[in-house]
Each structure stands twice: as C-alpha cells, then as structure tokens.
Chains A and B, each alone.
Chain A
C-alpha cells in the first residue's frame, strides 16, 4: 500500500518540493493525516482500469485560439503596485544564485 510509504522523510521531501515550511508538529501531523486520507483514497488503485482512457478535460473543445493582435498592457506602476518589494522598474527578489 502506497499510503504506508508516507513517512516523515517523504513528507519533508514533498514539503520542500512544494516550498512549504512546516513546523515539526505540522510535519508529524501531516504524516498521520496524509496516511489516513490516502488509505481511504487508495481503494481506487485496485480498480481494473487497463482499458479506460483518462479524462483531463470535461469540455469537448479543441483549438481555442486567439488572433495575434496586441492588447493594451498595464502601466508599470499598476504592474508593480501590489509587489511586496519593488524598485522603480521591477520586482526585487533574493538573488537565486547568491
């Protein structure tokens, strides 16, 4: 059973992938909760689904395209207005390679 594979190490790995800081307590609780939820959910993995195609979209649409025509852009002040740390012309972030 895959649910049984949920342990602290896996929770920590997934939290890192998702860029979520969890407290120790949160991580421990996550181990228990995810295990019990997945145990319930996992029943579907026993279904015989070999010939069943997956559904990614319920709407029967294809080729929804937009003409290559320009639309107005946001004024820079509006683009930057909600940023927690903006300079005059851009979004400031800790340097990724620092």
Chain B
C-alpha cells in the first residue's frame, strides 16, 4: 500500500504515529498536483509551507477552492475580473485548516463566482472528470472534486450554495458535505449568495469529511451569521442503521429527467439501508418542486449585489480607466464577467428592481419559508431524508452550455437543503454506465454527527471503490 492509497485521515494518523513522514507526503501530492492535466488547479504551491504538522490534520496537504481568500496567493474565484488578485488576508476556514496542521497545497478551479454545475464557467478553462475526460466534473467546486477523485490532493474544501459541493462530489465519486448554514465561517469566502453560501469538505470517504469538518467549524467573530455547533464533530463509527428512520420524498419519483441508472442505484441503496436496520418510508415535501424557482431568484438577487464591488477601483480588472466613470464601469464589468455571471446578475438585478421585488424576490423568500416548514414537518417522522444527489451522471463537456435551464435542473435535489440551511452529504453510490452516482442524506440543522454516522454505515455497506480514477 502506497501513501496514495491511504485516506487523508489514515495518512494523518500515520504521520502522528511517526510511521509516515509529512514531508514525503507533501512531495508526493505536490508532484501529482503539479502534473495535473485535468485543469483541476489554478495555483499549486512551490514550496512546503512552514505550518505545524502535529495538529489533528497531521500535515496532510489540503486543496482549497479558488474563492477562499489566501494571503499573498491568487484568489480569483474563477473570474477574469479578479485575475491575478492576491488578497492581504486569509479566510477563516483556511486559517483554521492550516492551524490544525494541513498545509495549503493548491487552489482549485471552479465555476466563475461559484455559478455553475459543470465547471465550464471558469475563466481559467474547464475541469475534466477523471472518470471520463470528455465529461464534466460537476460544479461549481469541480476542481476540488476532480482533484480528490484523481488523487491529486488528499482532500479539499469547496463551497455549496445550491449543491456546489454535493453535485461535483457525486459526479466524481467522492464524499461531499454541506454543513448547517453558519457552521463554518464565511469570512474570506468570495461571496456568491450570502444567505446560502456554505463551505464544506470534499473527501475520499466519510471519516475524512468528519475530520476536515471538525477543524473548520465554530463561531467566528468576523462572520455575524456563524454559530458554534452544539457538540464537537466526532469520528463516525456506525456500521448499521438500526433505529434510523429514513424518508424518501415522493417527489423523487414524480420528477422527469432522473436517469434510470441513477434511480436504480438509489433504490438499491435504499434497500441496503433497510437491510442495515433502517425503517424507510415515503415522505412528502410538497414545496420541494418549487425550490429551484425560489433558488434561481434568491441566489442571483444576492449575487447581483455581492458582485457590485467589482468596479475596477480598488482591485481587479479595469477597462477604459481614462474614459468617463460610467463607461469605465460598463466596460470593466462587461469585459470582466463571463456569460453565466452576466446572466445571473441580470436575473438578480431584474428580480430586485422597482416594481418586481414583491413578485419575484418577495415571493421566493416566502417559498423558502414553506420549504423549511416541509423539512420541519418531515423531522417529526424521520431522522433523514434521502435522495439521489444529481439526477444524472457526469455529462459530456459542452452538452448543456447552450441551455441554461437544463443546466439549472442539475441542482434539483440539492437546492431544497440549501434554502432550508440544513446539512446534507453526498456519498458515492456505485456506477451507472461506468460513471459515479451519488446518494444524498439530509438531516435537521446541527445533526452533522448523526448524519456522518449514517453516511459512514451506508458507505461501508456500498463498498464503492474509487481507485480507478486515481490510476
């Protein structure tokens, strides 16, 4: 067994036990990252940082999505408007990781400002899926997902606004966790939609996700919406699901566009859960079918405001600085943003503009209330709600770029949890047509430990082997 075959948690364990040299581990992954031919990285560290390796993360290097600000290191959120931008400060989540002993290995490619589900919206080129290089890795944390799946990084972090951790994790055959909104500080995360954005781990297995999560959570005085989890994140150890009540939303089966292979893999795992002792029943989330609509009003609206700061004055691209102010604004932003970002800025600006607020943004906020209420009702009967993560397996590069609406439908199963602010995890769920599918479990706010435990039990029973993607 080479260190490449070790999960990150196992590697950390060996480093701490003195059985593995952290420097050697660094060199192994730095070499693999530098040789990246998937387009997974936008920056790779030249030298090993001097941070301690005796922390809980044991010196195991971490790859970080481009949009996390890292002092002195490019932090461009996949956008031309921030090309070459090196911030003077580091995001809280990254500070905590390096403080816990994980050196910064690389910055990963992503959809521009986290807007996308295929990673084709990056100003720095697309990312390829290691399972099939002609296919997308999912997005927006596509670089992080591809890097971990391909063994170019032991583990990585990303952000999830409507599924941007879970969907690429699913398409790349790895674990992706979106924690409860507020569990990890957003300070230093270049914002897409503030009321939805949440950082989280992308890892080879559930135990890695728990370990990486444990290092990042906690209240941050720099983020007013951050909060402490009620209990520390523990190592998941469950091997069965006795006493666990799973709800399968009716809506999963009422939806067109779910691939049959994806559905078959999902149903097989539901059956597996029964065998592990879970009770499984149908449940009803009546407003979930409206989640996508609410999401595609709320997220663009917040984004239109969050992206107003890219004006060519204090940082980033400037075009026509010698023209009048209005021209400079128009040209800078017109040249700096890609098509998807422009589309969402337009959608969001329209949804907030005078005369349309109530019909669009106001309505979406009310639907958001109903979706939270649906989940709250579900928690009276169930511990978790389970769905496929993505309705499809990884699709070919370019397949959906001409049809934004088809692209948005990728988020169908992941968006409701984002709107409700609840934790959800995607675990690899076997292959369909030789491509990974994902199984999503969602629980009430702050149920991370129970969620990770259940995911751990299922993961063991599924026995997914991702080594092919690292070959």
Contact = CB atoms under 8 A, between A and B. Distances in A.
B342 A82 contact: no
Given A21-B330, A43-B290, A44-B364, A11 B297 contact: no
A49 B363 contact: yes
Interface stretch (B316-324, B434-442, B458-466): B316-324
Nearest to B408: A37
A45 B363 contact: yes
Interface string A40-75: 111111010100111111110100101000000010
A84 B364 CA distance: 38
Contacts of B342: 20, 22, 26, 30
B381 interface: no
Contact of A52 (B225, B360, B370): B370
Contacts of A45: 359-360, 363
A21 B334 contact: yes
Contacts of B363: 44-45, 47, 49
B312 interface: yes
A15 interface: yes
Contact of B293 (A6, A21, A43, A59): A43
Contacts, number: 163
A97 to B, nearest CB: 9
B304 A61 contact: no
Contact of B225 (A57, A78, A82, A92): A57
B160 interface: no
A14 interface: yes
Contact of B316 (A30, A33, A82): A82
Interface stretch (B127-135, B168-176, B345-353): B345-353
Contacts of B313: 83-84, 91, 93
Contacts of B43: none
A34 B367 contact: no
B395 interface: no
Given A33-B404, A78-B88, A54 B369 contact: yes
B336 to A, nearest CB: 10
Nearest to A84: B318
B333 interface: yes
Interface size, A (range): 35 or more
A92 to B, nearest CB: 8
Contacts of A92: 321
B181 interface: yes
A85 interface: yes
Nearest to B352: A17
Contacts of A20: 330, 333-334, 337, 342, 345-346
A44 B363 CA distance: 7
B224 interface: yes
Contacts of B356: 2
B324 A94 contact: yes
B235 to A, nearest CB: 27
A80 B41 CA distance: 28
Given A22-B334, A82-B86, A84-B318, A55 B350 contact: no
A89 to B, nearest CB: 14
B405 A18 contact: no
Contacts of B362: 54
Contacts of A78: 88
A37 B293 CA distance: 9
A93 B325 contact: yes
A82 B315 contact: yes
B188 to A, nearest CB: 15
Nearest to B87: A82
A51 to B, nearest CB: 9
B416 to A, nearest CB: 12
A96 B182 CA distance: 39
B328 interface: yes
B85 interface: yes
Nearest to B289: A43
A31 B326 CA distance: 23
Contact of B343 (A19, A30, A56, A93): A30
A84 B85 CA distance: 11
Interface string B415-444: 000011100000000000000000000000
Contacts of B181: 58-59
14 contacts: A2-B360, A16-B330, A34-B346, A41-B296, A44-B364, A47-B363, A55-B365, A56-B365, A61-B227, A66-B221, A79-B88, A83-B314, A84-B313, A91-B313
- What are the 10 tightest A-B residue pairs by CB atom distance, in nearest-first order? A21-B334, A58-B421, A54-B365, A84-B318, A82-B315, A21-B330, A64-B224, A19-B329, A52-B366, A41-B293
Interface of B: 85-88, 181-182, 195, 221, 224-225, 227, 290, 293-294, 296-297, 304, 308, 311-318, 321-331, 333-335, 337, 339, 342-343, 345-347, 349-350, 353, 356, 359-360, 362-370, 372, 404-405, 408, 419-421
